[in-house]
Amino acid sequence: MASADKDLIEFVGRALDRGESREAIERALTVAGWPPGEARSALAAYAAVDFPMAVPRPRPSVSARDAFLYLLLFLTLSLSAFYLGALLFELVDRLIPDPDLGEYRGYSDDWIRWCVAMLAVSVPVFGLVARRIGREVAADPAKRASSVRKWLTYIALFIAAMVLIGDVVALIYEFLRGELTLRFCLKIVIVAAIAGPIFLFYYRTVSDDAQQS
């Protein structure tokens, strides 16, 4: 749901009090130059109930608990994505050593154990928190308007998009150099396989929020 100007919300409230229909108000605001998203957001601030006056909806508030859950979700997602990529990169390096380096000179076995340990904790925690948040949003759709949720959703979407763009740039660059190797291509696929679903998930989340506005 797009954020609406305070004056715009007050105008919509006065127009509803005068008996104007929601369609007429939205049409007037659009003609006046207001973005459709802001017009719909201002209208959504008032409940569509049968009452002589405009009835405001409860405004979403961000509690410390909500902020904690969303930050924990973002952190565990970041850790899961990073250490899964690091683990798969290490396995590729061990299976297909770089011929220019001769004998394999990667991380120690402790690095593999550390990646597995991080994934064993971060992935289940992410799943549990995501499930908890999903249930709460389904039970109370107003939580979709949480500012913390919006910011972290767009940050995750931005980071995933930048990773995918960088992945494609690296692929094109190595192709133009004529140095594409199986080892490099596998790493490109790994990055895309991790960042791609994250991007699609949060893109769908943003789209669903827009449809609910």
Task: For residue 1, tell me if it sits in a domain.
Answer: no
- The answer to whether residues 168 and 92 belong to one domain is yes
- The answer to whether residues 171 and 68 belong to one domain is yes
Whether 206 contacts 1, CB under 8 Å: no
Question: Where among 14, 35, 56 does a domain terminate?
Answer: 56
- The answer to whether residues 94 and 21 belong to one domain is no
Q: How many domains does the chain have?
A: 2
- List the beta bridge partners of residue 46: 56
- The answer to whether residues 27 and 80 belong to one domain is no
Domain housing 161: 64-212
Instruction: Determine how many CB atoms are found less than 10 A away from the CB of residue 150.
Output: 17
- The answer to whether residues 86 and 177 belong to one domain is yes
Task: For residue 19, tell me if it sits in a domain.
Answer: yes
Listed residue (127, 45, 123) closest to 84, CA to CA: 123
Digitized pLDDT (tens) for each residue of the chain, 213 residues in all: 445 577 888 899 999 989 889 999 999 999 999 888 788 888 888 888 888 888 887 666 667 888 899 999 999 999 999 999 999 999 998 888 877 665 555 557 888 999 999 999 999 999 999 999 989 888 877 677 778 888 899 999 999 999 999 999 999 999 999 888 999 999 999 999 999 999 999 999 888 776 665
- The answer to whether residues 37 and 79 belong to one domain is no
- The answer to whether residues 100 and 190 belong to one domain is yes
Task: For residue 192, tell me if it sits in a domain.
Answer: yes
